[in-house]
């Protein structure tokens, strides 16, 4: 055991706290390559200052050391409430059950945003919340290591967390500047600790009568301590660099679903057109329900894909733009003012579909009520979240029912420069010949691009083709790639993926920009009604893919080439005249540009109250946070319990049982605040302990074992075991050793006040020697 640490004055403790705070603030800057802006850093700085400042204040008012870490966790909770509690808190810092529910939603959002965002990530509230929680936990650990355990060299362990995290997501890892500054701050902490120790030693007078007289120099040597500090910092910096370089980065996903490979559309949606496996599910999975006061039933788009790479269609990977919030939704590309549009309102409640893409009709102009941070994509107007999913969402939307005339489509010319992405026209140089031949044959008599599109749709919907979910699997062409399209044109059996991808490729062959929307058809009306409006149910069997073609002046318009599925737009029917309606027959609706809300209560229309579920889940998540904090506080006690159990086992069946008993007694003394010098012999320690009241008092009951006698027997046993040959001890002698240890330990605890006994349990001081052993400074064999 090491001698008890010399007490620090308030200025010395504040100096260590300041160096610790600086180290944490500098190390946090290593996350800069992962997150855009600087607001997240300032939030973390507030958390670090709050936690470490609270620890410094608690020590300044002489709070028992064992209470400082749990009170720092309380300070962390108060700071989180101040930053994220909002109106759910009392006086801005006192959390309520609603605050914990909000924290639970933020924690779930943090998990989602880490999965869904690419770097540099947008610092949405959920991500900032996760950063603040991480900074708070690291702050508590740093303060515990530096101030309570007094092993500042181990501060490198928690500080490595923000330093190493960038290497998991980017090839370059943390920036060199951040690494250098972190190493410098670490050096400063070590140096401050050395000076604080020297100052405490010079000011401390050793009043023991038997202590040797040593006159310490008034100036501490700089070279040895600075050399050791430089060496530790260099080793840590090199280790961090090597680990960062050796750790493979995690490729970020453009779309994350929760299902495995066999359930891509059961609860999540893949960007690839692998709809067949879910369409073939025997039992449909509920996706969402909706109510439309206008009585319309639109298609709902999740994701729009534009690029055809090999055997799959993929979305154009554009980084999320933090400025594209839902209150800035633009007018759809290419839509001229003279095209008839009507604003339609829909109220949606999602059920078991869980994806980062919001199901919406195209084009949408307004969205309200959705939880989380959602952003729209250029061109497609797909709405994507970086910290939430569609699971159990309720929202209201306004979308445009676009009703172009045949004349407007037929008179459409070449797309204006930059009007569409180049990928919407791209085709490889080598295609299976049947694709070009089919496009030329089908559109030979078409005078315009519009007429060519109508001919392609009519060709695919003709009796020559059949809808089949099994034929592509049996024939080995289940997909949307060029080879699959070529085989589909020969076999002429497939499902929506094949019809949509074939029409999109044939359209590009004749110069029409095309893309594919992945989402749901309009669903099935139910018997449920609210205010005379039908509740429509959409499930996994309504999953669908359809092509959208671009016409200058009208924009992107949908077509339906899959026979037996969905609704054929009126403008795309052969022979349609200029009075043909749009996608869905006209019905009473609000006027153009209206932003009115759906009649009735959409929450009541779409199901029961989810507030109870949210509150319950919030309590569960809040309880989990409290349990985690409790485990962190009790970690020293659990480690000390394990060490005690190991020594007691050695007493019963292991080697050197007397040594184990004596070390456990010494550890108990250190935990209770008794100064134990490793350099002193067992006999010297026994004489010092024998003078304590607990050993000098007579037993409470006549004939009861004496604590002083038990102490002497333990001393004699360990001296015989260490310094004289001895035969193996039998079970009876080992049992007597265990009994003497229990009696002597009880006498030590009887001398200590209740607060010191509680501190001995929560913050076992004897663990410091184990920590020093990790650094190669093990305690010498002695007491």
Percentage of the chain beyond pLDDT 70 is: 74
Tell me, yes or no, whether 656 lies in a domain: yes
**Look-up of token digits 């038990």:** 710
**Look-up of token digits 């599910």:** 281
Q: Please determine, for residue 593, whether its predicted confidence score (pLDDT) is greater than 80.
A: no
- Within its chain, how far is the Cα of 622 from the centroid? 16
Domain shared by 322 and 179, yes or no: no
Domain shared by 588 and 635, yes or no: no
pLDDT of residue 2: 43
Tell me, yes or no, whether 253 lies in a domain: no
pLDDT of residue 342: 92
Q: Please determine, for residue 89, whether its predicted confidence score (pLDDT) is greater than 80.
A: yes
Q: What share of the chain is helix, strand, coil (3-state, %, to 5)?
A: 50, 10, 40
Collapse the DSSP code of 251 into the 3-class scheme (helix H, G, I; strand E, B; otherwise coil) and give the result.
coil
Q: pLDDT tens, 169-190? A: 666 666 788 888 888 898 889 8
Tell me, yes or no, whether 781 lies in a domain: no
Q: Please determine, for residue 576, whether its predicted confidence score (pLDDT) is greater than 90.
A: no
Give the C-alpha separation, 188 to 185, whole Å.
5
Token pair, residue 778, equals 């093990």
Domain shared by 515 and 401, yes or no: yes
Q: pLDDT tens, 621-642? A: 555 666 666 666 777 888 888 8
pLDDT of residue 246: 45
Beta-carbon contacts of 138 under 8 Å, excluding residues fewer than 6 positions away, are 24, 158, 159, 161, 162
Domain shared by 575 and 652, yes or no: no
428 pLDDT band, cuts 50/70/90, is confident
Residues 346-364 have a mean pLDDT of: 90
Domain shared by 402 and 532, yes or no: yes
Nearest CA to 367 out of 381, 378, 355, 354 is that of: 381
765 pLDDT band, cuts 50/70/90, is confident
**Minimum mean pLDDT range among 284-288, 429-433, 603-607, 654-658:** 603-607
Domain shared by 478 and 384, yes or no: yes
Higher per-residue confidence, 578 vs 48:
48
Kindly report the CA angle at 325 between 320 and 327, in degrees rounded to 5? 160
Higher per-residue confidence, 306 vs 504:
504
Higher per-residue confidence, 254 vs 279:
279
Domain shared by 600 and 712, yes or no: no
Q: Please determine, for residue 461, whether its predicted confidence score (pLDDT) is greater than 50.
A: yes
Percentage of the chain beyond pLDDT 90 is: 26
pLDDT of residue 257: 34
pLDDT of residue 207: 43
Q: Please determine, for residue 262, whether its predicted confidence score (pLDDT) is greater than 50.
A: no
Beta-carbon contacts of 781 under 8 Å, excluding residues fewer than 6 positions away, are none
265 pLDDT band, cuts 50/70/90, is very low
Residues 263-286 have a mean pLDDT of: 56
Q: pLDDT tens, 473-488? A: 777 777 667 888 899 9
pLDDT of residue 536: 93
- Mean pLDDT taken over the chain: 78
> What number of CA atoms fall less than 13 Å from residue 403's CA on the CB side?
17
- Category of 697 on φ-ψ map: left (φ > 0), alpha (ψ -120 to 50) or beta: beta
Say how many C-beta atoms besides its own lie within 10 A of residue 258's C-beta. 14
1-10, 115-124, 352-361, 758-767: range with highest mean pLDDT: 352-361
Total count of domains within the chain: 3
Domain membership of residue 228 as a residue range: 10-204+214-246
pLDDT of residue 172: 62
Higher per-residue confidence, 281 vs 302:
302
Residues 742-761 have a mean pLDDT of: 84
Tell me, yes or no, whether 591 lies in a domain: yes
Domain shared by 622 and 714, yes or no: yes
Token pair, residue 212, equals 């040797």
Token pair, residue 421, equals 């992405």
pLDDT of residue 601: 42
pLDDT of residue 610: 42
- Within its chain, how far is the Cα of 468 from the centroid? 41
Tell me, yes or no, whether 5 lies in a domain: no
Q: Please determine, for residue 533, whether its predicted confidence score (pLDDT) is greater than 90.
A: no
pLDDT of residue 204: 55
Domain shared by 750 and 645, yes or no: yes
The residue out of 552, 575, 608 marking a domain boundary is 608
Domain shared by 430 and 351, yes or no: yes
pLDDT of residue 554: 93
Tell me, yes or no, whether 783 lies in a domain: no
Tell me, yes or no, whether 107 lies in a domain: yes
pLDDT of residue 249: 40
The residue out of 608, 631, 658 marking a domain boundary is 608
Nearest CA to 741 out of 667, 691, 680 is that of: 667
Q: Please determine, for residue 271, whether its predicted confidence score (pLDDT) is greater than 90.
A: no
Tell me, yes or no, whether 746 lies in a domain: yes
Domain shared by 196 and 274, yes or no: no
Domain shared by 98 and 232, yes or no: yes
């Amino acid at each position: 055991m090491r001698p008890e640490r010399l007490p620090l004055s308030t200025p010395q403790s504040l100096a260590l706290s300041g160096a610790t705070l600086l180290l944490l603030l500098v190390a946090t800057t290593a996350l800069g390559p992962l997150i855009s802006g600087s607001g997240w850093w300032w939030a973390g700085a507030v958390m670090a200052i709050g936690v470490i400042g609270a620890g410094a204040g608690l020590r300044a008012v002489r709070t028992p050391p064992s209470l400082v870490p749990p009170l720092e966790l309380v300070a962390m909770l108060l700071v989180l409430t101040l930053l994220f509690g909002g109106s759910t808190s009392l006086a801005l810092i006192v959390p309520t059950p609603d605050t914990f529910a909000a924290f639970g939603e933020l924690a779930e959002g943090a998990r989602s945003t880490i999965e869904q965002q690419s770097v540099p990530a947008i610092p949405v509230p959920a991500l900032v919340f996760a950063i603040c929680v991480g900074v708070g936990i690291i702050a508590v650990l740093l303060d515990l290591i530096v101030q309570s355990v007094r092993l500042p060299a181990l501060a490198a362990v928690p500080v490595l967390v923000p330093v190493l995290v960038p290497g998991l997501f980017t090839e370059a890892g943390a920036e060199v500047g951040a690494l250098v500054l972190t190493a410098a701050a670490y050096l400063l902490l070590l140096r401050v600790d050395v000076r604080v120790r020297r100052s405490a030693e010079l000011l401390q007078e050793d009043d023991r009568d038997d202590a040797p007289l040593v006159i310490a120099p008034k100036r501490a040597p700089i070279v040895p301590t600075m050399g050791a500090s430089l060496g530790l910092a260099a080793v840590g910096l090199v280790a961090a660099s090597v680990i960062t370089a050796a750790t493979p980065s995690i490729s970020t996903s453009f779309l994350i679903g929760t299902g495995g490979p066999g359930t891509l559309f059961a609860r999540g949606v893949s960007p690839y057109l692998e709809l067949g496996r879910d369409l073939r599910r025997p039992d449909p999975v509920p996706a969402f329900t909706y109510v439309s006061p206008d009585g319309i039933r639109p298609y709902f788009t999740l994701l729009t894909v534009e690029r055809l790479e090999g055997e799959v269609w993929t979305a154009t990977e554009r980084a999320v733009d933090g400025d594209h919030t839902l209150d800035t939704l633009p007018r759809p590309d290419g839509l001229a003012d003279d095209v008839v549009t009507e604003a339609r309102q829909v109220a949606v409640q999602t059920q078991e579909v869980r994806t980062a893409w919001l199901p919406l009709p195209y084009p949408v102009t307004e969205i309200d009520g959705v939880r989380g941070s959602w952003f729209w994509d250029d061109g497609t107007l797909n709405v994507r979240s970086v910290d939430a999913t569609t699971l159990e969402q309720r929202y209201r939307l306004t979308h445009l029912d676009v009703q172009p005339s045949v004349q407007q489509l037929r008179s459409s010319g070449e797309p204006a420069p930059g009007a569409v992405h180049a990928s919407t026209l791209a085709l490889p140089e080598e295609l299976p010949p049947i694709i070009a031949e089919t496009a030329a044959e089908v559109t030979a008599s078409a005078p315009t691009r519009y007429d060519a599109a109508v001919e392609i749709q009519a060709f695919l919907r003709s009796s020559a083709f059949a809808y089949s979910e099994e034929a592509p699997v049996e024939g080995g062409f289940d997909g949307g790639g060029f080879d699959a399209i070529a085989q589909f044109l020969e076999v002429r059996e497939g499902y929506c993926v094949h019809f949509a991808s074939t029409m999109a490729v044939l359209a590009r062959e004749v110069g029409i920009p095309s893309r594919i929307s992945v989402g749901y058809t309009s669903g099935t009306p139910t018997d449920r009604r609210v205010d005379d409006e039908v509740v429509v149910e959409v499930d996994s069997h309504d999953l669908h893919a359809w092509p959208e073609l671009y016409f200058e002046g009208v924009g992107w318009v949908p077509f339906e080439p899959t026979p037996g599925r969905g609704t054929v737009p009126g403008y795309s029917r052969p022979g349609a005249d200029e009075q043909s309606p749009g996608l869905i027959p006209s019905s009473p609706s609000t006027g153009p540009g209206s932003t009115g809300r759906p009649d009735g209560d959409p929450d009541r229309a779409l199901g029961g109250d989810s507030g109870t579920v949210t509150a319950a889940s919030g309590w569960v998540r809040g309880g989990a946070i409290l349990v985690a904090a409790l485990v962190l506080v009790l970690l020293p006690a659990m480690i000390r319990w394990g060490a005690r159990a190991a020594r007691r086992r050695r007493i019963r069946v292991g080697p050197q049982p007397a040594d184990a008993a004596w070390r456990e007694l010494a550890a108990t003394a250190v935990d209770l605040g008794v100064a134990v010098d490793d350099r002193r012999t067992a006999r010297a320690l026994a004489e010092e302990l024998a003078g304590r009241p607990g050993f000098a008092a007579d037993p409470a009951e006549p004939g009861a074992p004496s604590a002083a006698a038990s102490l002497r027997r333990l001393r004699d046993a360990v001296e015989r075991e260490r310094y004289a040959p001895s035969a193996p001890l039998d079970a009876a002698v080992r049992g007597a050793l265990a009994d003497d240890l229990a009696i002597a330990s009880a006498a030590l605890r009887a001398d200590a006040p209740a607060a010191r006994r509680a501190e001995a349990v929560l913050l076992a001081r004897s663990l410091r020697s184990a920590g020093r052993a990790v650094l190669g400074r093990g305690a010498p064999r002695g007491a």
